[in-house]
Amino acid sequence: MKVTLPETAVKTLTDILKDNQDRPNNIRVYFAGVG
């Protein structure tokens, strides 16, 4: 499945990962109502 994100979402996620460098670099995404 390919997911497309706006640039603002990518920047927000990048900032979150930078702020939490002592934690794993994984993001869990749930899709509601798909499938």
Amino acid at 21: Q
If one counts the domains in the chain, the total is 1
Question: Which tokens is 13 given?
Answer: 């996620």
**Are the beta carbons of 27 and 13 closer than 8 angstroms?**
yes
**DSSP H helical segments within 1-35, as ranges?**
7-19
DSSP state of 23: S
Would you give the distance in Å from CA 29 to the centre of its chain?
Answer: 7
Range of the domain at 20: 1-34
d(CA 29, CA 35): 15
Question: Which tokens is 35 given?
Answer: 């499938």
What is the predicted pLDDT for the residue at 6? 92
Higher pLDDT, 7 or 28: 7
17-29 per-position pLDDT tens digit: 888 878 777 778 8
Mean of pLDDT over the chain: 83
The model carries a pTM of 0.55
Higher pLDDT, 26 or 7: 7
Q: Stretch 3-12: mean pLDDT, rounded?
A: 90
